[in-house]
Structure 1
Amino acid sequence: MAVADGDGPRRLSRPIYERELLRLQVELVKLQEWVRAEGERLVVVFEGRDAAGKGSVIKRVSGRLNPRIARIAALPVPTERERTQWYFQRYVKHLPAAGEIVLFDRSWYNRAGVEHVMGFCTDEEYTRFLRQCPVFERLLVEDGILLRKYWFSVSDAVQEQRFRNRLEDPTRRWKLSAMDLESISRWEAYSRAKDEMFVHTDIPEAPWYVVESDDKYSARINMIAHLLSTVPYHEVPRPVLELPSRPPSTGYQRPPRDQQTYVPDHAAELAE
């Protein structure tokens, strides 16, 4: 069942969410095996405002996949050398080879967003990016790469609440930076930058797909279901595997425990 949330859209209950998420993750494994078997290359770009839930969606997409096939590209701040390269160069080396999936946790679109709004690039560099980006992405698609781009949209009220939650939670405080807090005072500037970015880069060969993410459960389910619907994958037959019988012992004996160093049994202390 869905749960009503005031006058807003109905939200998924946790049992329904978890059941559907598991079903979709099974399908993601089938997608992964199809990519591997067919030698396909899949790139998924995750963009959006700070605290829009991109990271939690990426975690659910990748959680049950083979990290040797599906990897996350989350690039740090460019080095001095990288700043002198062609802008797209540092991203190109993270693109997939045959049989691979790459999930970009933010991407080349940093230039159209945070770099432009915060003044980390010049107006000339920004304008050049808007001109070159559609060409770059058409080249990727023309070469056979499956490119999917998702923008995660969050309201100002929900973003602020998530920031507060991160401040109060020591396990999530690392997710919050001074740069994130700047997005509150620059909300409209980021909105204008996103609108301008869409004007130039929402192209037929690589369209933007917007994910409403005020409700994280729905955002995760909607994004994964949509991704699966856009890729013509099919289930790849797997070889039948059977556990072999364990052979009879040949007299092997483990070394005495006191000859090895074991970690302390912290769990036993808790259980007392």
Structure 2
Amino acid sequence: MNEMLHELQESELGKLLINEPLSNHTTIKIGGPADLLIIPKDIAGIKKTVELINKYKMPWTVIGRGSNLLVSDKGIEGAVIKLGSGLDHLLISGTTVTVGGGYPIVKLSMVISKEGLDGFAFASGIPGSVGGAVYMNAGAHGSDISKILTKAHVLFEDGSLEWLSKDELEFSYRTSILQKKRPGIVLEAEFELVEGKKEEIMLTMQKNKDYRRDTQPWNYPCAGSIFRNPLPQYAGQLIEEAGLKGYSIGGAQVSEMHGNFIVNAGEATAQNVLDLIQFIKDTILEKYGVVMETEVEIIGRK
């Protein structure tokens, strides 16, 4: 790794951190070290970073703002590329919005709404970055990214770049083609919105933010929704009806506010969370015959 590290440093691609605890980079504040954490300063830096990683055959993983993510206590082998301030550009041209993959979703929804553009208010309380939101087709309040996205600029594992249309991204409930079939990094996204009344949009956005504040435990470190909704049923409702609110294993606890959230109530480990997830799965299957699938992404050394 020393030779690759030297080449990365010489290229001045961005910030490099060795054995960096990923608990510093996840919203649930859990995660062992990354062998190497790279925060590229721009798109060119990301492309060059991937080229060098591939040259030295080092495994690599991409993260954004660390929401919807559970990192193993043993950390992540190889390089972790974090999309941050180097990919936070924004261009608004009429009703078309082009934005970098590292741009915060909450900030974007605010900026767009103040411009009087409608269609993005649903995302006003979603943590995380644009890239992560596209990757998992994030959604809330009856809408999701696929409803407004037109195309995404993606860097694939082999270093190639391509703009993929909405259809090519093969969106479905909380998934896209980028998760398994064609893994890649969302560098930029283009959204098509509609003109609306600023006051009405801001009111809707505030209602959505208030709802999240009142029903979801963001005052504790957490990763967002743990399970996909087994539609037409809802994960949180099933968990609550099973009497699991407040149930804990170690420092990991099912939120008292919302059954589909697990919070870090104090010094929780990733294993605590994994054990709690399994306990919930087993309980819901036994009580209701429903197979629960995780929405949170679980990564790192086994």
> Would you say same fold, with TM above 0.5?
no
TM range (shorter): under 0.3
Higher strand residue share: 2
Superposition TM-score, scaled by structure 1 size: 0.27
Higher helix residue share: 1
